[in-house]
Chain A
Amino acid sequence: MAVATSHYLILSAILFSIGVAGVLTRRNAIVIFMCIELMLNAVNLAFVAFARHLGQADGQVFVFFVMAVAAAEVAVGLAIIIAVFRNRETVDVAEVNLLKW
């Protein structure tokens, strides 16, 4: 007997909540990045769980698109963080507030 889909969805919800908590509470830009990855992983898990639930591979195809977007986001985001660090000597998001109105 396979594990029920709701178990996977609850696990995905827990992972997503952990990621949200990290983004809201931490001030280090790199930790915030890792928490976003955590949330994307939670969504991927839900996609794969639904793919099995419906017996189709479409959900697994979407996982690849999420992975592609995650990879692009990490590349650009880390480049921005490194550029900011080079100029301001900090990765604290509370101190990088030039674009904040």
Chain B
Amino acid sequence: MALSTLTFYLFALITVGSGVVVVFANRLIHAVFALLFTFFGTAGLYVFLGADFVAGAQVLVYVGGILVLMLFGVMLTNRIYDLQILAERVHFKRSVAVVGVGFALLATIIFRTPWQMVEGVEPASTTVSIGRLLMSEYVLPFEIAAMLLLAALIGASMLASRDNEEGDL
């Protein structure tokens, strides 16, 4: 087995293993830290796929932004060692059935399709082509995403601020 394949499986194992921990951990704080490893594993896979800029953005946005926000959410809302609600699970058998059917469907589609890969394309640095696409072909979605982020941040600060006493949210 080639070294590259081995590395892929290592990263895949990290990602899936910590993903399972996120779902099944009893303590919320364990789940958040497992999510950290999932994000890092995914970033490693992006590097492996030749997507260097996306990997950097993954670490910056997910680990630096979203995960810190999650940690704040956990710290602000929870008595962390209150296990009663946290460990509880509902609809376990039905959920397993739904997930099993969904995964079987996806796997069937993936294995039935003959994937013809474009060979001989060496992964070059993708930053230039991403920037060019964002500013030419995808400039309208780019601007819409910017407006969405602005609106979301204003809305979030409005929702979380303590000042609005008139309505009970």
Contacts and interface: CB of A to CB of B under 8 A. Distances in A.
Interface of A: 1-11, 13-22, 24-28, 30-31, 33-35, 37-38, 41, 44-45, 48-49, 51-55, 57-58, 60-61, 63-65, 67-76, 78-87, 90-92, 94
A64 B45 contact: no
Given A37-B66, A78-B70, 10 more contacts: A5-B115, A15-B38, A34-B70, A38-B22, A41-B38, A54-B118, A61-B134, A69-B148, A72-B148, A83-B160
Interface residues of B, number: 89
A4 B99 contact: no
A68 B149 contact: yes
B13 to A, nearest CB: 10
Contacts of A70: 61-62, 66
A22 B22 contact: yes
A58 B77 contact: no
Contacts, number: 234
A94 B90 CA distance: 10
A72 B149 contact: yes
A15 B134 contact: no
Contacts of B90: 25, 27, 94
Contact of A14 (B32, B103, B118, B162): B103
24 contacts: A5-B117, A6-B111, A9-B110, A10-B110, A15-B19, A17-B99, A25-B90, A30-B74, A41-B62, A44-B58, A48-B54, A49-B49, A53-B117, A60-B126, A64-B145, A65-B142, A68-B149, A74-B69, A76-B156, A80-B159, A81-B77, A84-B169, A85-B77, A86-B162
Contact of A26 (B16, B20, B23, B110): B23
Contacts of A82: 73, 76-77, 159-160
A20 to B, nearest CB: 5
B106 A16 contact: yes
A78 B126 contact: no
A49 B49 CA distance: 7
Contacts of B149: 68, 71-72
